[in-house]
Structure 1
Amino acid sequence: MKIQKTTAAILVLGAFAGAAHAQSVTLYGIADGGFLFNNNVKGEKLYGLSSATSSRWGLLGSEDLGGGLKAIFDLENGFTLGTGALSQGGLEFGRRAYVGLQSATYGTVTLGRQYSASNDATSNFASGADWAASGLGYGTRAGDVDNVDTSNRVQNAIKYTSPSYRGLTVGVLYSLGGQAGDFSRNEVTDAAVSYVNGPVKLGASYMFTKDPYYATFGDQGNSSSPTSATGGTNNMASRIYGGYASAGSQQIITAGGSYALGAATLAVLYSNTQFQNLGTVNAVGSYGTKYNGGTATFNSGELNVKYALTPALTLAGAYIYTHNSGADDVGSASYNQFNLGTIYQLSKRTSLYAIGFFETASGVDSTGKKAVADFSTSSYSSNNHQLAAIVGMTHKF
């Protein structure tokens, strides 16, 4: 009897040990703080604390279901280090919140608030999403109009990512609008392909969004009232494209690539963003109420380079050009931006950085007024140029 009890105890402990081994949960995050200077925020100088990389913490989990299948989840919170406030419009897990199944043979399916498949395939080629202050947002193409730097996530999304086959990966995403009686309202359709072969990386994507004022901007998404669509930090307040808030749809086509040559990595990125069917959406409180039909088109190109001067010290630079062709006979606008940065690794997890940004604008912007410089997430300049810099540190855990 004693032997039987001992054996039973061992079996019970073994079962618990097996369960613990089969499931894992990882706490991870980034704490980033820096001193920010902007020479012209509506005519005034700005000094303050900000972040080059978005501060965050998250829980990443997986459970082995057997047969090569895993259950996975990721809950990721964004916060402002200087104040402790929630980012992404105050959402608790505004950066990511999804659950799904993963198979090495068949790929991964996830449900929830997620990065787009387009972002997975092309963001690595953008300086703003890589080293040029992705959290601050200043380093993006004009206003992050193509969303390569994920100013906006996709909510209520079903996403599939294929396994890599000889370096080729395909991703597709569909976001349900969630509006009773109108299945297609606020929907998002997204597809992307990427290729990796040694030093060569390539990516291309297509994204189509119905009613972008509600479905995309303002962090809440899938809304039927403009209050939540304008309640977040990533709303359509940008002078660069805020005048197109009444667009019935938005189309984004992106393609890019990079090549690693010794200590240097060269990258290029092109995007075409269209705000279509202007005047369709009742975008209350926005600039974009005067357009009656038509399409506004942004073409953006970026060239950037990173160079590892030493194993610890990296130097980087980028040039970005964006042209807005305008709509309804309202004149066009052009934006030129330069990013320059350096990152020094104190350790594998801790680094120091210094990054500078300069943008110029010309022509007539989306509001029908003389174009002004307008860094993404910043208030616009009082004139056609804007200069900013941030110096700080990043710690990953």
Structure 2
Amino acid sequence: MKLNRFAAVALAACSGSALAQSSITLYGVVDANIEYVNHVGAVPTAANGFNPGPGHDVVRANSGGFSGSRWGIRGVEDLGAEMQAVFVLENGFNGDAGTVQQSGRLFGRQAFVGIKHATYGQISLGRQYTSLFDSIVNFVPTYFATQYEPITLFTGSNFREDNTLKYTLNVTNFTGVAHYSFGTGLALPQTVESGLAIGGNGEVPSQARRDSAYGASLSYTGGSLWAAIAYDQFNPSIGTTSSTSSGSFKKATAAVSYSFPWGRVMGGYRWGQNKMPSGATIGRDDFFWFGGIYQVTPAFSLMLEYDYDKVRNVFGNTSVANPWQVNLIADYNFSKRTDVYLSVAYAKHAGLGLDSALIANAVSLALGNSYARGNGNSSMMGVSIGVRHRF
């Protein structure tokens, strides 16, 4: 018995020594809300003849209003010589139904491993956010809130990409990011009669360009004035095309932010151009956003964002009405982990999240809830009340 006790103590001591050099953290968010939306039609598909039908009022329970519900594991191991091994595995789920998001991926939000050096930065491989997303998220008043933020129009549906090699370097107040995806894994079905299915798994032998993507960004976050610039390109398969005839979806953006004692104001511009393999234009637009965060009290904050998209061309149509949206979020924190929120959004000439044919109704496809406008409707309004807990 004494020998067994000694062995247990020795094992515990050895385990403590090993754990002192590394750490593993389990974390997550559970976010759920009740939502009312008007003028909601069906998501256009071949099955319904790409016809959303009449608009209806909808009251529904949702997961992920302010933040996407998730759980994850992150780890760090000290390798010595100012080097660390790092990894992140992050699952996205629907809290209202207990199902997996991101097309059924177990770790669809993030899944990567890498090496980090205190001076020379981090190299990571796996499913990761794009450089554009990383640099711009802090310049958006609602921080890309899940429910109504037009993130797909803003960054492209490929803001997370499979098979990605990424480099991140922090120097004082500057952060540089560059990435290359060998195959994004993004696939959007045809949701517009004049459109085509977009994307695929990529990584096809002898077709290196097929579904590849790359980008880079530089941001400055020192003092009151912050700024960022970024470029992103996605080369998707279109229809049944191969690498020699994949399309090109390009985006470039610039953003600024300035802090005051009561909060922060911010805004920016994103240029976008999506082309067919032939060079014909799928979409061309100029996207602008502006807003701010007002910290009313330490526990209560207001976030206001206005988005406007100057649509110049959609499948050859140069007279498309320009969509815009205004979104207000009121957030009250009961504690550091638990808060309640009210989110109100109004969109004109598009569905909420500025969902439309320009982005192949990707918002509706990703969230599993339709924000496609019913026939004869030019606007959509949504109101949601929710609770969020972080652990």
Shorter-chain-normalised TM-score: which range?
0.7 to 0.9
Counterpart in 2 of 1:147? 155
Compared CA separation, residues 58 and 327, structure 1 to 2 (3 A): closer
After the TM superposition, which residues 240-319 of structure 1 pair with which residues of structure 2 at under 5 Å, given as runs? 248-276=247-275, 278=276, 280=278, 293-294=280-281, 296-319=283-306
How far the C-alpha of 1:355 sits from its partner, in A, is 0.6
Among 96, 99, 102, the residue aligned to 2:113: 99
Counterpart in 1 of 2:335? 347
How far the C-alpha of 1:126 sits from its partner, in A, is 1.8
- Can you give the 5+ residue segments of structure 1 that lack an aligned partner in the other structure? 1-5, 215-223, 227-245, 281-291
How far the C-alpha of 1:127 sits from its partner, in A, is 3.3
How far the C-alpha of 1:77 sits from its partner, in A, is 0.2
After superposing on structure 2, the runs of 4+ consecutive aligned residues of structure 1 that deviate more than 6 Å are 8-12
How far the C-alpha of 1:349 sits from its partner, in A, is 0.6
How far the C-alpha of 1:279 sits from its partner, in A, is 5.7
Letter paired with 2:146: G
Letter paired with 2:88: D
For each residue in 1:68-90, what CA deviation from the matched residue of structure 2 results, as whole angstroms up to 9, or x when unmatched?
A: 11101000000001000101111
Segment drifting more, 120-129 vs 203-212:
120-129
Among 45, 48, 53, the residue aligned to 2:60: 48
Compared CA separation, residues 15 and 225, structure 1 to 2 (3 A): farther
Letter paired with 2:40: V
Query: What CA distance in whole angstroms lies between the structure 2 residues aligned with 1:10 and 1:327?
Result: 69
Counterpart in 1 of 2:389? 395
- Contact 1:256–1:269 (CA under 8 A) maintained in structure 2: yes
Among 158, 169, 176, the residue aligned to 1:162: 169
Compared CA separation, residues 71 and 320, structure 1 to 2 (3 A): same
After the TM superposition, which residues 105-254 of structure 1 pair with which residues of structure 2 at under 5 Å, given as runs? 105-130=119-144, 134-136=145-147, 138-140=148-150, 144-147=152-155, 152-163=159-170, 165-177=171-183, 178-211=203-236, 248-254=247-253
Compared CA separation, residues 354 and 259, structure 1 to 2 (3 A): same
Among 95, 104, 122, the residue aligned to 1:90: 104
SS at match of 1:337: strand
Counterpart in 1 of 2:308? 321
Letter paired with 2:328: L
Query: What CA distance in whole angstroms lies between the structure 2 residues aligned with 1:274 and 1:187?
Result: 17
Query: What CA distance in whole angstroms lies between the structure 2 residues aligned with 1:151 and 1:189?
Result: 10
How far the C-alpha of 1:341 sits from its partner, in A, is 1.5
SS at match of 1:146: helix
- Contact 1:145–1:273 (CA under 8 A) maintained in structure 2: no
How far the C-alpha of 1:184 sits from its partner, in A, is 1.8
Query: What CA distance in whole angstroms lies between the structure 2 residues aligned with 1:79 and 1:367?
Result: 26
Letter paired with 1:258: S
Letter paired with 1:188: A
How far the C-alpha of 1:129 sits from its partner, in A, is 3.0
How far the C-alpha of 1:179 sits from its partner, in A, is 1.1
Question: TM-score, structure 2 length as denominator?
Answer: 0.79
* Aligned-pair Cα RMSD in Å: 2.9
Compared CA separation, residues 14 and 384, structure 1 to 2 (3 A): same
- Contact 2:142–2:304 (CA under 8 A) maintained in structure 1: no
Letter paired with 2:232: M
Counterpart in 1 of 2:186? none
Question: TM-score, structure 1 length as denominator?
Answer: 0.78
For each residue in 1:185-243, what CA deviation from the matched residue of structure 2 results, as whole angstroms up to 9, or x when unmatched?
A: 211111000101112221110011111659xxxxxxxxx899xxxxxxxxxxxxxxxxx
Compared CA separation, residues 328 and 354, structure 1 to 2 (3 A): closer
Query: What CA distance in whole angstroms lies between the structure 2 residues aligned with 1:33 and 1:180?
Result: 43
Query: What CA distance in whole angstroms lies between the structure 2 residues aligned with 1:269 and 1:179?
Result: 37
- Contact 2:141–2:293 (CA under 8 A) maintained in structure 1: no
Letter paired with 1:272: W
Query: What CA distance in whole angstroms lies between the structure 1 residues aligned with 2:22 and 2:249?
Result: 41
Letter paired with 1:186: D
Compared CA separation, residues 16 and 249, structure 1 to 2 (3 A): same
Compared CA separation, residues 257 and 389, structure 1 to 2 (3 A): same
- Contact 2:24–2:74 (CA under 8 A) maintained in structure 1: yes
How far the C-alpha of 1:296 sits from its partner, in A, is 2.4
For each residue in 1:12-71, what CA deviation from the matched residue of structure 2 results, as whole angstroms up to 9, or x when unmatched?
A: 765432211112110000011110111111111111111211100000001111111110
Segment drifting more, 82-91 vs 179-188:
179-188
- Can you give the 5+ residue segments of structure 2 that lack an aligned partner in the other structure? 1-5, 42-54, 184-202
Letter paired with 1:86: V
- Contact 2:129–2:160 (CA under 8 A) maintained in structure 1: yes
Counterpart in 1 of 2:92? 78
Query: What CA distance in whole angstroms lies between the structure 2 residues aligned with 1:93 and 1:296?
Result: 31
How far the C-alpha of 1:139 sits from its partner, in A, is 2.2
For each residue in 1:344-397, what CA deviation from the matched residue of structure 2 results, as whole angstroms up to 9, or x when unmatched?
A: 0100111010010101118xx9869xxx9x878433112110000110111000
SS at match of 1:189: strand
Query: What CA distance in whole angstroms lies between the structure 1 residues aligned with 2:226 and 2:343?
Result: 25
SS at match of 2:180: strand
* Count of matched residue positions in the alignment of Structure 1 and Structure 2: 338
Query: What CA distance in whole angstroms lies between the structure 2 residues aligned with 1:351 and 1:366?
Result: 31
Letter paired with 1:87: Q
- Contact 1:323–1:332 (CA under 8 A) maintained in structure 2: no
Among 344, 348, 359, the residue aligned to 2:347: 359
Query: What CA distance in whole angstroms lies between the structure 2 residues aligned with 1:332 and 1:322?
Result: 13
Letter paired with 2:130: S
